[in-house]
Amino acid sequence: MKLHPTITGVLAAWFAFQSQFALAQQTQANPAEPVEVYVWGQQPTSAATEQTRTARDLELRPSTTPSDVLRLTPGLVIGQHHGGGKADQILFRGFDSDHGTDFAVFIDGIPVNMVSNAHGQGYADLHWLIPETVEKVEIYKGSYFAQLGDFATSGAMNIITKRRDKDSTLTLTRGSYNTQRYVGILSPPDGTLFRPYIAAEIYHNDGAFKNPNNYIRYNILTKFNLFSTANSHLNFLGTFFKTAWDASGEMPARQVRSREIGRFGSNDPSEGGKSERQNLSFIYNYTDANQTFTAQTWASWYKLQLWSNFSLFFNDPVNGDAIEQNDKRFLAGNNVNYRRNYNLWGLPMETFVGFQNRFDHIRVGLFHQSDRQRFSTESNNLVRQTNLSWFAQQEIKPTEWLRTQLGVRVDNFWYHVGQINDPASMSSPISGAGSASIANPKLNLIFTPFNDNNIAKSTNLFLNFGGGFHSNDARVFVQDKDGKISRYWSGEMGARTRLFDRLDATFSYWRSYLTSELVFVGDEGTFEPSGASRRQGIESELRYDILPWLSYDLDLSYTWAKFTNGDKVPLAPRFLAYSGLTARHDSGLQARLQMRHIGRRYSIEDGSIMTPTSTIFDLSLKYLWRRYEFFVQLQNLANTKWRGAEHAFESRTASEVAGGQPGRLDAHFTPGDPFTVKAGVALKF
């Protein structure tokens, strides 16, 4: 890929302008920086596995995509099987959450997950995030948090972007497989009118595939402070995102074993997609010594066009099984919450209440195609979906060693599904309307038992319990005769401590129960019911400061996941390990060597097909000199052959059609990246 001369010129002009702008601003006044505005506001920890990760945790991770932001969640596995542009597959706490069905993701309070998406419920495309703009990440596991509802079955992540940077920067990256990345961040000095913060990104990658990905991504993020007083602030956020890519699809394992096709080959190189999203958000925040009030309104415009071919010639031996999935929508919502600290009857109290709503107006369709040319319509719908939610949580601290939190959340849904085309012209017309409500209790107990010795403020014990629900696609709900929301219960007990002023450790055990799942299969326009399921697991996290400039981290988890009839939960993660050694020396040298291990998983319910294990080592090197940062990222150091994503289903290849052979159930996978090198420089001014 070669950038157009106009883009190169714009980058050069922007760099020159920024240098002069920063110089001109140095003599301006320097008023106090406004208080950071968060939708929920980080409070003292309520569960052992709840945590906040900062931008520092991302700095030395060898990636230039949002994927490593998701990996900040211990015990979470991601996969990419569609040219890099598709939303990542998320596997967490015994769930194959597909692309986000059971794991909620937010950026500055704006929901990333898409309801009733063309490709799957909860589709969470995070590619409109620029990693360098991340200030911190709030991580929640389990269903114990009153402010979290739809999609937060197993957990949630709220990514908070920076209000400003210390410096403006320009980052240039080149790497293997025609990787190019250009990032510019404009962060004027304090005192600048409106305190603007602007970031832009251009990214391109062809991948290691025989047919290049031609993946191109454009991102812009803008933030402005519209007004500030001593206690209140009104901030604006706007983003623009557009991407397009080609994909090689998932390879049947039997083809690779027989050498009929290579690991990086393709059966249908016409796969791929394009997507775009624009977001607007206004956040008002009032804070004083005893209370915080936050009100946010947001709106988004979204498009997705996806061309895929999973089963090849299994259903249609003449034209093939390729499909096109279309999604075009407008969505908007509000987040309002109020938190107050006070004393009642001599006891410290905190009341936390809030209201959330979301409305989606969606045009969603599924079509059969060949070489990206439609030849029939499976379904084509207009979906209107509304979600109204209320929550309340009361915290009481009856003693110095105990905090109790009792909460409740109520979610109400309204669905309407109509036809765009004549139903007679479609293979699977869907229509109908309905509504449902669900209320869920939350209970958190936080103990500080050692209040009379040296570790009084560093050791906590946690007991958590709460209800949640499995989110359903509107097209599933209007076809489901019961019309109920599947309830989810989970509980956890854990401990968190800091020892010897250098070791942080967390241990937890959790269990969950889901009454049932109704999953809409966007690739077929149908839904699949499954029975009740139980999950349980153990987790541990260790952070050890070996020397002032050298630290070690280790995350371990093991999960058991089964349906109540004894069947395995397909692709549910089992044993996971993530470890890293990080060095930050005063000389300016920085480095991180990390390891990711994913144990074997069951691909189908009877356990007859299992995924192989994978262990990947990455190395990141950085040198800081004056206003320059030089960096090299080495991914998959051992050049391990691993599978980035994998599914088991029936397919039939072209050679099997020619030979008169039937389709076969088999593992299908997208290969993980081989040894990859990326290098670049960042200029600060």
Tell me the pLDDT tens digit for each residue of 340-354: 999 998 899 999 999
Residue 7's φ and ψ, nearest 5 degrees, are -65, -45
- Confidence (pLDDT) at 36: 43
Output the CA–CA distances (angstroms, integers) from residue 616 to 42, 68, 134, 676, in the order listed: 33, 14, 25, 12
Q: Give one DSSP letter per residue of 170-223, joined into a string.
A: EEEEEETTTEEEEEEEE-PPTT-TT--EEEEEEEEE--SSSS---EEEEEEEEE
What tokens does 311 get? 């089963």
Q: Is the per-residue pLDDT at 220 higher than 80?
A: yes
Q: Tell me the one-letter amino acid at 96.
A: D
Categorize the per-residue pLDDT at 38 as very low, low, confident or very high, splitting at 50, 70 and 90: very low
Q: Which of 224, 275, 244 is nearest to 37 (CA)?
A: 224
Q: Give one DSSP letter per residue of 396-424, joined into a string.
A: EEEETTEEEEEEEEEEEEEEEEEESS-GG
- Confidence (pLDDT) at 56: 82
Cα separation, 232 vs 634, in Å, equals: 45
Stronger pLDDT, 518 or 211, i.e. the higher one: 211
Cα separation, 436 vs 470, in Å, equals: 13
- Confidence (pLDDT) at 96: 81
Cα separation, 163 vs 185, in Å, equals: 12
- Confidence (pLDDT) at 523: 52
Q: Is the per-residue pLDDT at 28 higher than 50?
A: no
Q: What is the mean pLDDT of residues 541-555?
A: 95
| Residue 349 CB neighbour total at 10 angstroms | 14
- Confidence (pLDDT) at 482: 74
- Confidence (pLDDT) at 481: 67
Q: Is the per-residue pLDDT at 23 higher than 50?
A: no
Q: Tell me the one-letter amino acid at 663.
A: G
Q: Is the per-residue pLDDT at 41 higher than 50?
A: no
- Confidence (pLDDT) at 437: 95
Q: Which residue has the tokens 């607007």?
A: 280
Q: What is the mean pLDDT of residues 207-211?
A: 95
Categorize the per-residue pLDDT at 4 as very low, low, confident or very high, splitting at 50, 70 and 90: very low
Q: Give one DSSP letter per residue of 319-341, joined into a string.
A: T-S-EEEEEEEEEEEEEEEEEEE
Annotate 591-628 with b (16+ C-beta within 10 A) or e (fewer). Answer: bbbbebebbebbbbbeeebbbeebebbbbbbbbbeeee
Cα separation, 498 vs 457, in Å, equals: 9
What tokens does 452 get? 């009379």
Q: Is the per-residue pLDDT at 359 higher than 50?
A: yes
Q: Is the per-residue pLDDT at 6 higher than 70?
A: no
Cα separation, 335 vs 44, in Å, equals: 21
Of the chain, the percentage scoring pLDDT greater than 90 comes to 74
Cα separation, 443 vs 46, in Å, equals: 10
- Confidence (pLDDT) at 35: 40
Those residues with Cβ within 8 angstroms of residue 274's Cβ, 6 or more apart along the chain or in another chain = 85, 242, 243, 244, 245, 303, 304, 305
Q: What is the mean pLDDT of residues 25-42?
A: 39
Domains located in the chain, CATH noted: 5-27+43-684 (2.40.170.20)
Query: H-type helices in 529-653, by residue range?
Result: none
Q: What is the mean pLDDT of residues 182-193?
A: 88
- Confidence (pLDDT) at 396: 96
Q: Tell me the one-letter amino acid at 110.
A: I
Output the CA–CA distances (angstroms, integers) from residue 625 to 18, 444, 585, 588, 631, in the order listed: 20, 47, 12, 7, 11
Q: What is the mean pLDDT of residues 165-194?
A: 92
Q: Tell me the one-letter amino acid at 671.
A: P
- Confidence (pLDDT) at 529: 66
Three-state secondary structure call for residue 59: helix
Q: What is the mean pLDDT of residues 286-312?
A: 96
**412-464 pLDDT tens trace:** 999 999 998 778 777 778 889 999 999 999 999 999 887 655 554 578 999 99
Cα separation, 640 vs 612, in Å, equals: 12
Q: pTM here?
A: 0.91
- Confidence (pLDDT) at 253: 96
Cα separation, 624 vs 1, in Å, equals: 29
Cα separation, 106 vs 137, in Å, equals: 10
**60-101 pLDDT tens trace:** 877 678 888 998 999 998 988 888 899 999 999 998 867 888
Q: Is the per-residue pLDDT at 199 higher than 80?
A: yes
Categorize the per-residue pLDDT at 10 as very low, low, confident or very high, splitting at 50, 70 and 90: very low
Q: Which of 289, 323, 287, 318 is nearest to 307 (CA)?
A: 323
- Confidence (pLDDT) at 524: 56
